[in-house]
Protein backbone atom coordinates (compact mmCIF):
# COMPACT_ATOMS: atom_id res chain seq x y z
CA UNK A 1 0.00 0.00 0.00
CA UNK A 2 2.85 2.42 0.76
CA UNK A 3 4.23 1.80 -2.72
CA UNK A 4 0.96 2.83 -4.39
CA UNK A 5 0.71 6.00 -2.31
CA UNK A 6 4.33 6.84 -3.12
CA UNK A 7 3.70 6.41 -6.87
CA UNK A 8 0.61 8.61 -6.62
CA UNK A 9 2.56 11.36 -4.90
CA UNK A 10 5.41 11.03 -7.41
CA UNK A 11 2.96 11.32 -10.30
CA UNK A 12 1.41 14.43 -8.75
CA UNK A 13 4.79 16.05 -8.20
CA UNK A 14 5.76 15.18 -11.77
CA UNK A 15 2.57 16.75 -13.17
CA UNK A 16 3.14 19.92 -11.15
CA UNK A 17 6.78 20.06 -12.27
CA UNK A 18 5.85 19.69 -15.94
CA UNK A 19 3.13 22.33 -15.56
CA UNK A 20 5.54 24.73 -13.86
CA UNK A 21 8.09 24.27 -16.66
CA UNK A 22 5.65 24.54 -19.56
CA UNK A 23 3.68 27.52 -18.24
CA UNK A 24 6.56 30.04 -18.45
CA UNK A 25 7.58 28.75 -21.87
CA UNK A 26 4.02 29.09 -23.17
CA UNK A 27 3.62 32.58 -21.71
CA UNK A 28 6.97 33.65 -23.16
CA UNK A 29 6.06 32.37 -26.61
CA UNK A 30 2.72 34.17 -26.53
CA UNK A 31 4.18 37.45 -25.27
CA UNK A 32 7.09 37.43 -27.75
CA UNK A 33 5.00 37.03 -30.88
CA UNK A 34 4.90 40.58 -32.16
CA UNK A 35 2.38 41.54 -34.78
CA UNK A 36 3.71 42.54 -38.18
CA UNK A 37 3.22 46.31 -38.24
CA UNK A 38 4.57 46.74 -41.75
CA UNK A 39 2.06 47.61 -44.46
CA UNK A 40 1.19 44.53 -46.57
CA UNK A 41 2.34 46.37 -49.70
CA UNK A 42 5.78 46.88 -48.13
CA UNK A 43 5.92 43.25 -46.99
CA UNK A 44 5.18 42.02 -50.51
CA UNK A 45 7.66 44.44 -52.08
CA UNK A 46 10.33 43.63 -49.45
CA UNK A 47 10.40 39.99 -50.51
CA UNK A 48 10.95 41.00 -54.13
CA UNK A 49 13.56 43.68 -53.35
CA UNK A 50 15.56 41.24 -51.19
CA UNK A 51 15.39 38.67 -53.98
CA UNK A 52 16.50 41.23 -56.59
CA UNK A 53 19.46 42.44 -54.50
CA UNK A 54 20.44 38.85 -53.62
CA UNK A 55 20.52 38.00 -57.32
CA UNK A 56 22.54 41.15 -58.00
CA UNK A 57 25.09 40.42 -55.25
CA UNK A 58 25.45 36.85 -56.51
CA UNK A 59 26.34 37.94 -60.05
CA UNK A 60 28.49 40.46 -61.86
CA UNK A 61 28.11 43.82 -60.09
CA UNK A 62 30.03 45.78 -62.72
CA UNK A 63 27.57 47.39 -65.13
CA UNK A 64 27.97 45.76 -68.53
CA UNK A 65 25.49 44.88 -71.28
CA UNK A 66 25.76 41.22 -70.26
CA UNK A 67 25.15 41.88 -66.53
CA UNK A 68 22.21 44.15 -67.38
CA UNK A 69 20.68 41.48 -69.63
CA UNK A 70 20.91 38.95 -66.77
CA UNK A 71 19.12 41.39 -64.45
CA UNK A 72 16.61 42.77 -66.97
CA UNK A 73 13.75 40.78 -65.43
CA UNK A 74 14.21 42.66 -62.13
CA UNK A 75 14.05 46.24 -63.41
CA UNK A 76 11.54 48.35 -65.26
CA UNK A 77 11.99 48.55 -69.04
CA UNK A 78 12.70 52.28 -68.68
CA UNK A 79 15.53 51.69 -66.19
CA UNK A 80 16.94 48.88 -68.31
CA UNK A 81 17.05 51.13 -71.40
CA UNK A 82 18.57 54.00 -69.39
CA UNK A 83 21.38 51.79 -68.03
CA UNK A 84 21.98 50.15 -71.39
CA UNK A 85 22.30 53.57 -73.04
CA UNK A 86 24.79 54.69 -70.36
CA UNK A 87 27.19 51.91 -71.42
CA UNK A 88 29.71 49.89 -69.45
CA UNK A 89 30.89 51.42 -66.20
CA UNK A 90 32.80 50.25 -63.13
CA UNK A 91 30.30 52.03 -60.87
CA UNK A 92 27.47 49.70 -59.93
CA UNK A 93 24.11 51.42 -60.35
CA UNK A 94 22.37 49.41 -57.61
CA UNK A 95 24.96 50.25 -54.94
CA UNK A 96 26.27 53.55 -56.30
CA UNK A 97 29.92 52.57 -55.94
CA UNK A 98 32.79 50.80 -57.66
CA UNK A 99 33.92 49.50 -54.25
CA UNK A 100 31.49 46.60 -54.22
CA UNK A 101 29.97 45.86 -50.79
CA UNK A 102 30.01 42.39 -49.25
CA UNK A 103 26.38 42.34 -48.06
CA UNK A 104 23.15 44.31 -47.93
CA UNK A 105 20.05 44.65 -45.78
CA UNK A 106 16.62 45.88 -46.88
CA UNK A 107 15.76 48.47 -44.26
CA UNK A 108 12.78 50.73 -43.81
CA UNK A 109 10.06 50.88 -46.42
CA UNK A 110 7.94 53.87 -47.38
CA UNK A 111 4.71 53.11 -49.17
CA UNK A 112 4.10 55.74 -51.84
CA UNK A 113 1.05 53.96 -53.26
CA UNK A 114 -0.28 50.40 -53.62
CA UNK A 115 2.17 49.82 -56.47
CA UNK A 116 5.12 52.04 -55.50
CA UNK A 117 7.51 51.75 -52.54
CA UNK A 118 10.87 53.19 -51.54
CA UNK A 119 13.33 51.03 -49.59
CA UNK A 120 16.37 51.98 -47.59
CA UNK A 121 19.08 49.54 -48.68
CA UNK A 122 21.96 49.30 -46.22
CA UNK A 123 25.22 48.27 -47.90
CA UNK A 124 27.87 46.64 -45.73
CA UNK A 125 31.64 46.26 -46.03
CA UNK A 126 33.55 44.17 -43.53
CA UNK A 127 37.07 42.84 -43.82
CA UNK A 128 40.33 42.91 -41.86
CA UNK A 129 40.85 46.62 -42.52
CA UNK A 130 37.40 48.14 -42.18
CA UNK A 131 33.82 47.81 -41.16
CA UNK A 132 31.48 50.37 -42.72
CA UNK A 133 28.04 50.86 -44.15
CA UNK A 134 26.31 53.12 -46.65
CA UNK A 135 22.67 53.59 -47.59
CA UNK A 136 20.93 53.93 -50.93
CA UNK A 137 17.23 54.29 -51.72
CA UNK A 138 15.69 51.76 -54.08
CA UNK A 139 12.31 52.51 -55.60
CA UNK A 140 10.21 49.49 -56.49
CA UNK A 141 7.06 49.54 -58.61
CA UNK A 142 4.56 46.80 -59.27
CA UNK A 143 3.98 46.14 -62.96
CA UNK A 144 1.98 43.22 -64.30
CA UNK A 145 1.96 41.60 -60.85
CA UNK A 146 5.76 41.78 -60.36
CA UNK A 147 7.81 44.16 -58.23
CA UNK A 148 10.62 45.78 -60.23
CA UNK A 149 13.34 48.28 -59.39
CA UNK A 150 12.61 51.58 -61.11
CA UNK A 151 15.27 53.85 -59.60
CA UNK A 152 18.17 53.81 -57.13
CA UNK A 153 19.50 57.01 -55.55
CA UNK A 154 22.33 57.72 -53.12
Which tens digit of pLDDT belongs to each residue from 112-153?
A: 999 999 999 999 998 888 899 999 999 999 999 999 999 999
Domain range enclosing 8: 1-33
> Do 74 and 55 touch, CB atoms closer than 8 A?
yes
Q: Are residues 149 and 75 in the same domain?
A: yes
CATH number of the domain enclosing 68: 3.10.450.50
Task: For 17, list phi and psi in degrees, rounded to 5.
Answer: -60, -45
- Mean of all residue pLDDT scores within the chain: 84
Who's near 119: CB < 8 A, 6+ residues apart?
Answer: 45, 46, 49, 106, 107, 108, 109, 110, 137, 138, 139, 140
Domains in the chain: how many in total?
Answer: 2
Q: Are residues 146 and 86 in the same domain?
A: yes
Q: Are residues 123 and 64 in the same domain?
A: yes
**Which of 130, 124, 125, 131 has the alpha carbon at shortest distance from 107?**
124
Q: What is the mean pLDDT of residues 11-17?
A: 63
Q: Are residues 8 and 59 in the same domain?
A: no
Percent of the chain predicted with pLDDT > 70: 77
Q: Are residues 77 and 7 in the same domain?
A: no
Q: Are residues 44 and 119 in the same domain?
A: yes
Amino acid sequence: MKLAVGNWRLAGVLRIGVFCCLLPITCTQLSCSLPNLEDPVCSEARTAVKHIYSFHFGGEMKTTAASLKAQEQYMTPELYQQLLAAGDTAVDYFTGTDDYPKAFRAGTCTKVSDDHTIFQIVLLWRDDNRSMQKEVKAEAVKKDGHWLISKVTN
